Amino acid sequence: MKRTSMKRFVAFGALAALTASACSSDKSSSATTAASVATTAAPATTVAVSTTAASTTTASSGSSAATTTSSGSSSGASSTTTAGATSSTGAATTLPAAPANLKKGGTLKLAIDGEAACYVPSLCSVSYGPGSIRAAVLDNLVDPAQNAQGYALDLATAITPNAGFTEFTVKLQSGVKWSDGTPFVAGDVKSLFDTYVLADKSAVKGNLPAISSVTAPDDSTVVFTLAAADAPFPQLLTIVPIWKPTAGLTQTSLPVGTGPFMFASWQPNVATKLVRNPNYAKKDAAGNQLPYLDGIDVTAVTSGDTRVNAIQSNQDDLAMSTDPLVTADLGKVSTVNQLSLNAGGGIFFNTKKAPTDDVRIRQALSYATNKKDILAAIGGGDPRDEYYVPTSPWYSPDASKVTPAFDTAKAKQLLDEYINDPARSDGQPVGTPLSIELKQVQGAITQDSITALAQQEWGDVGVKVTITPEDQSTLIGDAVGGNYQATYFGWATPSPYSLLTHNYGPPATTPTNFTHFDNADLASIITKMAVAKTTAEMNDLVFQSNMIFAQLVPVLFLHSTTIGWAATKKVGNIQLDPGNGNVVWPTLSLAG
């Protein structure tokens, strides 16, 4: 498969803060209609989403830095970047005008690649499919975007830091209502953070470690006060959806949002039903009220083959995939819109559980893995050896050189050292062969291929590997709880600061630190990133973090990936948000 690579604006904050929860894959794309996205290196770039299913284009916006909302359209908001932070001002944006042949109404039948553990963001992590559904219901203060500041205004109309970057004042859109008809006000945001987002066991608290307090001086103003300077703080807000802080929410609750749709019902592993939000605030450029659809009926279908059959038989109208093999099959029976997200897939090691708590074992398993064989098994693609692709300004050639490459002799040497070590961490007698449990999503075909090859190649150097398939929500729960040794996961790669804060904060307070990697040097790097004053300083810190990953191997990076959305001829006006790869839900339509 030929993959499109996104050029990156070299200044700090250029990469979008993508959905950062680990995303499990299923089996995804090849001969497809690719929606190519490129961001120019000009200081101001407007990413304009086309109204065709084929492509997403970019256009220069002139001298002022433009931002991109979750709708995919851009605003002429002005911005000034200082030490990596941005003061943004601008009105709420409108979405592109509807096509001439638009037909409103109808209920879309959608198949995603896995079930959600829950839909309340603070109570669980979700993979890409459920995350895209949640995004149809919950807006953000700011969205991930491909621009110099790394975010775009959504429910916020401006974010202004103080001189020391310890206080950020957020101005909110006026006239916005929750889907239940009550006004959306600043006090709701304060209550949400106080009650849920910053709660002790919140799944997102670890992403916002610097917040010391949230205040709402009036209905349209929220002030975030930080315990320490954090220049790129707005990038972290892209990770937190906004939902109504209703008392007593549990993992079975359906959150109320301000997005184009609202939850009507959810039967786990059966169906999720979304209906039009009658109080949605946005209109398209022609003044048409959004969303165009009446609703979305969602089914979680782990099997890629089943999703392909459902699209081919018109049982479903739209299906998503992050798996190259599945997307290739979907492309044979439908039109596939595809977007490269600088994301990837690999094997995460639990650095707190024997024997993968020992760096020698992580290195040995990496040396034992032939990535060329992996790519051949999943239908091609690009190999990965770090979080950033070679076209990224944060890619480190030196780190790539020290990343363990396929070498069975080195793998056996390191394994022998561990096996014959009287102090080996698994407590087994000297000379006892090594055993590893490798987990994956049940029924995910690409993962089947990857884990089967890992089992064979690790077995070739003397490791006994047991493969354990689990449903997606259980796999994520086991990762959060540390109940695994090695597991396949996909990941999205936002800006370095957002990535490291989300995935490598202190394990005790950062549930999304799935590797449970607790490294003092990396923690120091994250702290320094928060106050980096220049691009060069930030890039040096990124390089240092890349070297830590290369040498200590908490993740065995395997391959790049893309998001693909396969549609039947009934589906119209498909647009993909270049900031996160989600379908632009408000303007999606059906032909009949």
Residue 323 confidence (pLDDT):
80
Residue 313 confidence (pLDDT):
95
Q: Which amino acid is at 571?
A: V
CB 142 within 8 A of CB 159: yes
Residue 183 confidence (pLDDT):
98
Residue 25 confidence (pLDDT):
34
pLDDT digits (tens, 9 = 90+) for 57-95: 222 222 222 222 333 333 333 333 333 344 443 333 446
585 CB contacts (<8 Å, ≥6 apart)?
135, 136, 259, 260, 261, 291, 293, 296
3-class secondary structure per residue, 179-219: CCCCECCHHHHHHHHHHHHCCCCCCCHHHCCCEEEEEEEEC
pTM: 0.69
Q: Which amino acid is at 147?
A: N
Q: Write down the domain spans for the chain.
A: 341-561
The total number of residues written for the chain in this structure: 592
Cα(487)–Cα(228) distance, integer angstroms: 35
Q: Which of 489, 477, 555 is CA-nearest to residue 522?
A: 555
Q: What is the DSSP letter of 12?
A: T
- Which helix (H) or strand (E) segment holds residue 546: the answer is helix 535-552
113 CB contacts (<8 Å, ≥6 apart)?
24, 25, 26, 127, 128, 129, 300, 301, 302, 304, 307, 320, 321, 322, 323, 444, 472
The residues pairing with 571 across neighbouring beta strands, listed in sequence order, are 590
Which CATH code is given to the segment(s) 341-561? 3.10.105.10
Dihedral through CA 370, CA 374, CA 376, CA 382, nearest 10?
A: -100
Residue 350 confidence (pLDDT):
98
DSSP E strands in 408-554: the ranges are: 434-441, 463-470, 486-491
CB 544 within 8 A of CB 351: no
**From first to last of its 592 residues, what are the pLDDT tens digits of the chain?**
332 322 222 222 222 222 333 333 333 222 222 222 222 222 222 222 222 222 222 222 222 222 223 333 333 333 333 333 444 433 334 466 667 778 899 999 999 998 998 999 999 988 889 999 999 999 999 998 767 677 889 999 999 999 999 999 999 999 999 999 999 999 999 999 999 999 988 988 887 878 999 999 999 999 999 998 888 899 889 889 999 999 999 999 999 999 999 999 999 989 999 999 999 999 988 888 999 999 999 999 988 899 999 999 999 999 999 887 888 899 999 999 987 766 788 999 999 999 999 999 999 999 999 999 998 888 777 888 999 888 788 889 999 999 999 999 999 999 999 999 999 999 999 999 999 999 999 888 789 999 999 999 999 999 999 999 998 889 989 999 999 999 998 877 667 888 898 899 899 888 889 999 999 999 999 999 988 878 888 889 999 999 999 999 999 999 887 789 999 999 988 988 877 888 999 999 998 5
Tell me the pairing of strands 486-491 and 318-321.
unpaired
Tell me the pairing of strands 463-470 and 434-441.
parallel
pLDDT digits (tens, 9 = 90+) for 387-438: 988 878 888 999 999 999 999 999 999 999 999 999 999 999 999 999 999 9
CB atoms within 10 A of CB 289: 14
Q: Which amino acid is at 369?
A: T
Cis peptide before 291 (omega within 30 of 0): yes
Residue 127 confidence (pLDDT):
83
Q: Is the dihedral of CA 207, 210, 215, 217 positive or negative?
A: negative
205 CB contacts (<8 Å, ≥6 apart)?
122, 197, 198, 199, 509, 510
